[in-house]
């Protein structure tokens, strides 16, 4: 369960947008584990936004959270589509 404020979620999302540039560099350097961690973090952020949306009643806050969720969903889709992580090789036993 996430226990954060709307401002905290906004700050977290801003950080994820900033880190995207680092993920491009990680992809270039074949540091795919960093991209995997980034995707996991983004999925968790989306879960936290969903939880917050269930608890918030004010229409303007719900609208703000929906905008944040849409933004993060676009970033997540782009990351998955453009920073593809190659499958790991499985070596045959001799």
Give per-residue pLDDT as tens, 74-93.
999 999 999 988 886 555 55
What pLDDT is attached to residue 44?
96
Please give the model's pTM, rounded to 2 decimal places. Answer: 0.87
pLDDT at 7 > cutoff 90: yes
What pLDDT is attached to residue 45?
97
Where does residue 71 rank: exposed (0-12), middle (13-18), buried (19+ CB within 10 A)? middle
Distance of alpha carbon 76 from the chain centroid: 5
Give per-residue pLDDT as tens, 19-59.
999 999 999 999 999 999 999 999 999 999 999 999 999 99
């Amino acid at each position: 369960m996430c226990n954060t404020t709307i401002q905290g979620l906004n700050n977290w999302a801003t950080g994820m947008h900033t880190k995207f540039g680092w993920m491009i560099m990680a992809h270039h350097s074949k540091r795919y584990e960093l991209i995997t961690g980034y995707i996991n973090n983004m999925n968790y952020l989306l879960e936290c936004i969903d939880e917050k949306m269930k608890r918030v009643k004010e229409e303007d806050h719900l609208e703000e959270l929906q905008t944040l969720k849409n933004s993060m969903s676009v970033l997540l889709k782009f990351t998955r589509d453009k920073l593809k992580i190659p499958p790991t090789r499985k070596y045959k036993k001799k």
